[in-house]
Every structure is written in structure tokens, then in C-alpha cells.
Amino acid sequence: MNDIKQYQKLMRKCLSLAKKGEGKTSPNPLVGCVIFDDDFNIVSVGWHEKYGEFHAERNAILNYKGDLKGKNLIVNLEPCCHYGKTPPCTDIIIESGIKKVVVGMRDVNPIVAGKGIKQLQNSGIEVVEGVLENECKKLNEIFIKNQTEKKPFILIKSAVTLDGKIATKTNSSKWITGERARREVQRIRNLYDAILTSSNTVLSDNPSLTARIKGGKNPVRVVLDRHLKTSPSAKVYNDDGTKVFLFTSQKNNKKYPKNVCVKRVSEDKNGLDLNEIVSELWEEGIRSILVEAGGKLNGAFVKEGLADKLVLFVAPKILGDKKGKSFVEGFDIDDINNSQILDMVSVKRFEPDLMIEAGFKY
Ligand SMILES: NC(=O)c1ccc[n+]([C@@H]2O[C@H](COP(=O)([O-])OP(=O)(O)OC[C@H]3O[C@@H](n4cnc5c(N)ncnc54)[C@H](OP(=O)(O)O)[C@@H]3O)[C@@H](O)[C@H]2O)c1
């Protein structure tokens, strides 16, 4: 195996280590690190386990109980060179005597952005860049959007039949997909800071919107309900005391539980102002939003150019009824050339269903 292939193999290891921090590092990125010798044997590993705790490089270095002089380090994100919650990783790398650093992608955080690499090089450390760069960027798509646009990353997730329906005309939708797909949804929920839904979906499904996975956290919940039609006893407000933001255009005269924060925002004929809601959530520290709603709200997020990614679970079922609900509505397009375009990112199987991941292009 040549060096590049060896680096790629080790970078895959970094990416899988980084994923151990899923759901715990926000607003920080997911980072994994491997220390290896000149024969590409792994001598130590580390990852960023939780927000506020040590970074991956520091953990990998501290996990090694010997002399690191002459060893090599590989990491999916450029090492930081600034004091944040913890001291700069470049300092401990330089002090350790490591001679080569392999990096997946440069940090987009303007405080770092190439300066970490420069500092290592200025200390005589060889730096190799861009190993599995696309995979590294995909892993940290939320962090990249946050840093470059100062906005939350927004994912629309939906479960559909082969004819693109999310429910029958009588709103029956449980369950479209099988158990494996639903387990993957729980994993995705754990990755996001907030899950957002609508009055209609709360009224028809009464969902809990919890992430039922071992060691996982429940995301903040967000409900859009212009006229406060949803009942304070709905599961979404009561399940476990998790914070809920309830956006409305009305003055609140109902008694929602203490964990529910009612916020008034502007509206127009289509509904509440989604840009205002997204900005409010950013101000509340929400860095990623998972939209789990019906076609009207999904469609509105796409029309506003707010959605970044779509995850569509497709079940091998057909409803065959034109009155059944579609996962995205509100587009009045006559010419196929004016369709909303997406980039296919991946297709995976969660038997008996498929999962399609696609990025929005505006
Ligand atoms: N298969 C799946 O993955 C899945 C997931 C979720 C839901 N569902 C199904 O979807 C169905 C509900 O779909 P739906 O299309 O009727 O409703 P929806 O898209 O979930 O919600 C639409 C409602 O959201 C509120 N809203 C507030 N601001 C809005 C804005 N700017 N743009 C659009 N809507 C806004 C409005 O209600 P207010 O005027 O009351 O604010 C609007 O009527 C249910 O049957 C549910 O079971 C399926």
C-alpha cells in the first residue's frame, strides 16, 4: 500500500472515532485523531468526546504513555491554534516531538483557517493536507455551515411511499417505514440540536419527538402553531421536561408546561416568518434543526431556500391516491426545467426501506 492509501485508511479510523462524539460536541465539530509510527502502526487514538472537554489531538497525545518523538499524527480537522475552552492543540503537538501531521480539511473557523497548519510548519513539522477531504467536510457539514454563514444547518427528514406520499388522505401515516429505518431516525435526532414540527403534525400524530437511543440526548423541540391550536397536554410538550420553543403569531392565553417557551413572531398569508424563527433559534444557541413535518411546512422551508439537506426514507409501498399527502408541497411548477434541483449524496438500505440523502441547490 502506498503512503496515500495508508493515510486514507487511518483517516477512516479518525472519522469513525470522531463519530463517537455524535450528539455531544455541538457547537464544536466532530474530530478523531490517530498517532502512528513510520510503519503505519497505530500507537494511540483520541476523539473530541464532549463540548468543553479536550480536543481529539490532546486526548490522543495524553493517552500515549511514552515518548512521542518522531511519531506521526493524523486528524480529520486542522489542529486549533487558539485558546478556547481548552489550550491550543498546536502547542501540545509541537511540545510532544511529533514530526508529521496529516490533516483531512482546513478549519473554516476564521480564528484557525490555515494558521494552525502554518504554526506547525513554522516549528519544523511536515504537514500533509486534504486526505479524504470530502468525507471530512461531510462529517462536519453542520459546523461548516455555522462557521461560514452564522446560521443553523437545516435537515428535512421524511418517510414516504414509492409514490412520494407521507400519509393517506385521512392522515394515516404510522408506520410508513420499518423498524430499521425508524432506528436510524432516532440516531439522526440525537445529532441535531432541535427538532421542528407543525401544529398540523402535532394534531394528527401527537409525536413525542424524542431520541430513544442509549446514551443519547433529547433535542430541543420546536412547534410552529400560528393560532395556538395544539393542546398543552400534547406529548411534544410533556414527554420529559425538555425545552420546547412554541412559535405563534398570537397572544398566549393557554397554560403550557414550564418547559415550553412561547415566542411571538411575524406572519404573512403563508404562515409564520421562517427566517425570523431560524434567527431566533440561532440566538438561542441552536446550531442544527431537523424538520419533521408534513408537506406544507417542508415545502415552505425549501421555497425560502432555508433547507440544506434532505433525508428521505422510501418504503416499498404505494398509496396510489392523488389525495394522499406529499412530502413537499406548495410548488406551482409547469416546466420540468424549473424543478428544485438537489445533489445526490448517498443511498443506503435499511431493509426493507431505502434512505436517500440529498443536498439542496438554490
Ligand atoms: N411521513 C412522515 O415522515 C411525516 C412526518 C411528519 C408529518 N407527517 C404527516 O403530515 C401530515 C401533516 O402535513 P400538512 O402538510 O398538513 O402539515 P405540515 O406541513 O406539517 O404543517 C403545515 C402547518 O404548519 C403551520 N405553519 C406555520 N408557519 C408556516 C409556514 N411559514 N409555512 C407553512 N406552514 C406553516 C401552519 O399551521 P398553523 O396555521 O396552525 O400554524 C400550516 O398549516 C400529517 O398527516 C402527518 O401525519 C408525515
Which residue is closest in CA terms to ligand 1's atom 44? 201
- Average pLDDT in the chain: 93
Look at 252 and 140; give whichever has higher pLDDT: 140
In angstroms, rounded to a whole number, what is the distance separating the alpha carbons of residues 179 and 353?
9
133 is catalytic: no
- Tens digits of residue pLDDT in 195-215: 999 999 999 999 988 877 777
Let me know if domain 151-220+276-360 sits in CATH 3.40.430.10: yes
Strands 194-198, 220-224: parallel, antiparallel or unpaired by DSSP?
parallel
The boundaries of every CATH 3.40.140.10 domain in the chain are 3-143
User: What residues have CB less than 8 Å from 224, skipping those under 6 apart?
Assistant: 196, 197, 198, 199, 247, 271, 272, 277, 293, 297
pLDDT of residue 86: 76
pLDDT of residue 171: 83
Ligand 1 within 6 A of CB of 198? yes
Architecture of the domain made up of 3-143:
3-Layer(aba) Sandwich (3.40)
pLDDT of 1 higher than 80? no
Ligand 1 within 6 A of CB of 272? yes
Q: Distance from the CA of 335 to the center of ligand 1, in angstroms?
A: 26
The boundaries of every CATH 3.40.430.10 domain in the chain are 151-220+276-360
Grid coordinates in use for 139?
462529517
pLDDT of residue 264: 96
Q: Distance from the CA of 298 to the center of ligand 1, in angstroms?
A: 8
In angstroms, rounded to a whole number, what is the distance separating the alpha carbons of residues 128 and 4?
10
Which residue is closest in CA terms to ligand 1's atom 6? 293
pLDDT of 84 higher than 80? no
pLDDT of residue 173: 83
- Tens digits of residue pLDDT in 271-294: 999 999 999 999 999 999 999 999
In angstroms, rounded to a whole number, what is the distance separating the alpha carbons of residues 121 and 81?
12
Q: Distance from the CA of 362 to the center of ligand 1, in angstroms?
A: 23
pLDDT of residue 211: 76
Ligand 1 within 6 A of CB of 225? yes
Look at 132 and 2; give whichever has higher pLDDT: 132
Q: What average pLDDT does this structure show over 22-26? A: 92
Which residue is closest in CA terms to ligand 1's atom 34? 297
From 262, 274, 296, 306, give the residue whose CB has the most ligand 1 atoms within 8 Å, as the site to mutate: 296
**pLDDT band, residue 183 (cuts 50/70/90):** very high
Coil, strand or helix at 89: helix
- Tens digits of residue pLDDT in 87-133: 788 989 999 999 999 999 999 988 878 899 999 999 999 999 999 99
**pLDDT band, residue 69 (cuts 50/70/90):** very high
pLDDT of residue 285: 96
pTM of the model: 0.93
From 198, 248, 329, give the residue whose CB has the most ligand 1 atoms within 8 Å, as the site to mutate: 198
- Tens digits of residue pLDDT in 283-339: 999 999 999 999 999 999 999 999 999 999 999 999 988 788 899 999 888 999 999
**pLDDT band, residue 9 (cuts 50/70/90):** very high
Where does 72-171 have alpha helices with state H? 89-96, 115-122, 133-139, 141-149
